[in-house]
Amino acid sequence: MKKKKSEDYFKRQIPTDRSIYVDNKAPVGESPEVVKHQHQHYPNNRVVSSKYTVWNFIPKNLFEQFRKIANFYFLCVGIIQLIMDSPVSSATSIVPLVFVVTVTAIKQGYEDWLRHKADNEVNNRKAFIVHNGELTQIKAQNIKVGDIVKVEANQGFPCDLVMISSHDPEGKCYVTTANLDGETNLKTHFCVPETKRFQKEGVFTDLCANIECPKPIADLYKFIGRIKVYNDSHHVLKSLGPENILLRGARLKNTPFVYGCAIYTGPDTKMALNSKAKSTKFSRVERGMNKYLITFLVILLLEVLASTILSYWYMGQDSVGNPWYIPDAKQDVNAKNVISDFLSFMILYNYIIPISLYVTVEIQKFVGSRFLQWDLEMYDEDLDNAAQANTSDLNEELGQVEYLFTDKTGTMTENDMQFRRCSINAIKYEEIGGHLHEMAPHGGQSTPVIRLTAEIDEFLELLALCHTVRVDHSEATETGASTLYSITGMDYEYQSSSPDEKAFVEACCRYGVVFHGIRDDHLEVTFHGEMRRYRLLHVLEFDATRKRMSVIIQRENGEIVLLCKGAETAVLKIGISGEIDRTYDHIHDYAVLGLRTLTLGKRVLAPKEYERVNGMLTEARSSFDGWDEKLQKAFLTVEKDLHILGATAVEDRLQDGVPETITTLRRAGIKVWVLTGDKEETAVNISYSAGHIINGMEELRVTKATCADHKRCGEEIAKHIHRIQDWSPSSQQFVLIVDGFSLTFALGEHTEVFRELCQKCAAVLCCRMSPLQKAEVVKMMKTASHAPVTAALGDGANDVSMIQEAHVGLGIMGKEGRQAVRNSDYAFAKFRFLQRLLLVHGHYYYHRLTTLVQYFFYKNVAFITMQFFFSFQSDFSQQSVLSTSHLMLYNNTMTSLPIFIYSLLEQHISQRDLIENPHLYKNITRNRKLDKRNFLQWFVLGLWHVVVFFFGVVFLFGNDVSLWPDGKMMGLSSFGTIAYTICVITVNLKLCLETYYWPLPMFMAYVATGVVNMCLTFMDNMIIWPEFIQSLQDNYKVYTTCLSSGTVWLSIMLLPVIALFPDVIIRVARDTDY
């Protein structure tokens, strides 16, 4: 009883945040039961990405499949056929249903088997943990929270670890996170100084520590925690950040080994949390397909209702309703009989709903998406990256895009920054031939800088220190550059997640200011050979809210300085000294040239002030509740009263083919909007260079200069709308330029009029935007009354929100990591590939799938309407004109393969013509091929075809004429067989008329269909089936008997020609238009 109370106590005491005992050892004075319960409340390290097990696969898969309306409908029909006197065999519904469900189950089972295989490979991988001072080998799935794990070079981390120590005496290690975010550059991680001495297994018996961290979150770049290291009677408390954690999925590089404590295992790891499926998106075609299904369900119910009413009306006629050869033909009109007859007719006509459509579409999309990855023209040799499809559900939506929202930096540009110019103490400098030159005030000859002045020295000092750049040495093999120096810096390879920072450090290196890295918590920099060491006290990380980053360093003379760099709007406003106005003017000049700018400032901190700031930062980093808000408050407290040193200007070159691509997309009817965080002048300049803004367009601005509040913003928008209306119907084009400040007002109280203004403009440029504002702009157009299809294109983490918001998310495999790629639906390496993705792949995907959908409904109308027409011939007796084998094989073998191959390979227009004639893209947008006119055309053609071959056969049988010299007559089976044969030939020839591209697989699909159908017909017609299924064999010797008549052969050749005559005319007219 006492034990039970103890367990209940610990269950109550387990907090939301984690308290983890390293090596599962409780500190002196705490109960060992705490460690025991540590294992009970956190999951083990087993990875499970599969959906099914051996035991639940069948029930779970069947449940998921029968949630689909078509499958559930046919299941109900099959059950009805089993429990009542059905006019046709229950096999006609159950066999196709079983086929579709089985194919889907095999596909999903195979995919899940691959997931099981991958899971087992990961779970059974060898891992090493330290226990009682000894190294023990276990399976990775058996790692528990609190275990000390040893990971060696080039191995992946088996779970999320807090780094304890490494081979490097400084407690550093280098990892690559390419599997997590796609960033290939190495990142430096650290342990806290108090644990870096534990470098051998035996000494871990002396380690007693406790780690506190929050509950698991998915954000790869966010972690806050603290570690308490016990030393005899006292302890040391240290904060932990993202640089102290080693994530599962990352890999150890250039370091022989590291030790880490497991904090998140199995499903709690950040990698597992990021593996959850994104929200499901549905294409227009899919929604249209569902509308078709509902329409045909209504048609089915109307046909069934009409047949049921006419049946009772017919039986009510005394002259014909009670023939002498059918005793008791009249039925009482009661609910039971009416429902029974209603269901019987439903069974007769139910094949108007194409059961195999959904599984065919699913397979077609999956296979079709592979063509995108196999397209060599979308392969980038420089990055060795092929295009990739993260989903196959939206293939056809690529052919429907009307609005494209694109980022600028790294998406339209190379994101390869080159330092070009700078402003130092209100003097302009430029780089020429790798050397710094002072620019003449009025455009004269630049003067090379021979010696660094105090102002230049201070400026370059900031660039060399205020960053998160890591140093690699070309000769380092194990410990990176931590033990190797390069006097000139030429042997260094600088790694950074920020291309701007890398450009700054490389520029400093060219000017003789070489950054050597961090050693013993000190930044080491040589100024023309003179070594200076700066103690790194704090890093104030960049975030999108502040739009700046800072470091607090201590110089060798003991002076403590805050160094800050960021956007001019974020830095100049907190500046109180220096050449603020002149620097702002220079920034404007650089922006006009299309250069990216940053502003630099510093602030000297008094010792007492630093103590206060240090306390705030330490407390914020160590707290769990509201740590983000506390950290922001601490940042804002210290980042103020700056002395402005100057500004930098770097060049980011446009990618090849960007202007041509934007022009092509505009001709295709796609409106391109550029959404960027850059300042207005830079964004405008790049937009002109990229062809987004064309000379001659009139610029309309909704910016901070004219929109100080909600009212002014509304007035400015209304003024621009009137301006455009005054020009109407002139051919004058307008471009709207908006900044983030004004966008806050425009999307607040003026959304409708702002959207109207945007729609009237040929191009829209939004600058100085936050990531959230990008998503809001996409949502604004996405929810417009005409419901356009939107696509968003980006390359960085700041683009993820708009990529997920758009109907189609597109990612660029750029240099800002792979978060955009991971969250996108489709990804590729270069902006220019966009035109091939949309104009070729998008066009083909849409055309193929819409034809497949319409063809499926058409061929079922042409097939099953025979049953409805025959009801009039059979006096609504519920007699089927089609045999069991006809109903089972029509959709599954007789007409399935050609349309499937068509939906993969058809090219109704050549790829070259689609690229050279972008206007052809307009012909398919707005879901034109699935509109009411096209639907009605296919439906009417299906009705015409069934009228021709059904009543053609009726005419053939008319007047009881014999088709054989010996006077033999044909019966019901012969009638149905001839009509069915003509139907199969007609619908396959109809697809031939829709086909423009005849590669070998397309031709072989018809050959295979013909051979298979002949074999199945032979089996049905010539072989006597086993007794237990003999009741399903209705056509024994029927085919051979029918085909012995020349008249039947004539009708088989003639009726399809008559039926397809309108289709030939339509094909000729369509080809003439093209």
Active site residues per annotation: 407
Distance of CA 29 to the CA centre of its chain: 52
Q: Are the C-beta atoms of 157 and 255 separated by less than 8 Å?
A: no
Yes or no: say if 832 and 915 are a contact pair by the CB < 8 Å rule.
no
Q: Whose CA is closest to 989, among 1021, 935, 941?
A: 941
Question: Angle at CA 270, nearest 5°, toward 55 and 803?
Answer: 100
CA distance 537 to 552: 5
Residue 77: closest CA among 257, 297, 379? 297
Cα–Cα distance measured from residue 1071 to residue 754, given in angstroms and rounded to the nearest whole number: 42
| Closest by Cα among 212, 215, 213 to 43 | 215
Token pair for 727: 């020009």
Nearest Cα neighbor of 541 from 196, 176, 181, 224 is 224
From the list 1057, 1052, 907, 1054, the residue with the least C-alpha distance to 994 is 907
Q: Are 721 and 760 in contact (CB under 8 A)?
A: yes
Which positions ≥6 away from 521 have C-beta within 8 Å? 193, 535, 536
- Strands 596-605, 642-651: parallel, antiparallel or unpaired by DSSP? antiparallel
Q: Give phi and psi for 767, each to the nearest 5.
A: -125, 165
Angle at 392 between CA 386 and CA 396, to 5 degrees: 100
CA-to-CA distance for 914 and 920, rounded, in angstroms?
7
Give the separation between CA 812 and CA 246, rounded to whole angstroms. 27
Name the residue among 676, 675, 741, 728 with its Cα closest to residue 698. Answer: 728
Residue 429 contacts residue 439 (beta carbons within 8 Å):
yes
726 by DSSP, 3-state: which? helix
d(CA 597, CA 683): 12
- C-alpha distances in angstroms, 151 versus 157, 463, 851? 7, 35, 55
Which residue in 691, 852, 1073 sits closest to 367, CA to CA?
Answer: 852
- Structure-token match 């399976």, residue found: 139
Please work out, in degrees rounded to the nearest 5, the angle formed at the alpha carbon of residue 902 by the alpha carbons of 897 and 906.
Answer: 165
Report d(CA 339, CA 328) in Å as an integer.
19
Amino acid identity for residue 872 in this structure: F
Buried/exposed 297-320: b ≥16 CB within 10 Å, e otherwise: bebbeebbeebbeebbeebeeeee
Backbone angles phi, psi at 828, to 5 degrees: -155, 175
Angle at 823 between CA 820 and CA 824, to 5 degrees: 80
Name the nearest CA neighbour of 757 among 791, 784, 724.
Answer: 724
Strand pairing of 596-605 and 560-566?
antiparallel
Give the phi and the psi of residue 723 in degrees, each rounded to 5.
Answer: -60, -45
Q: How many CA atoms lie within 13 A of 763 on its CB side?
A: 27
- Inter-residue contact 826 to 388 (CB < 8 Å): yes
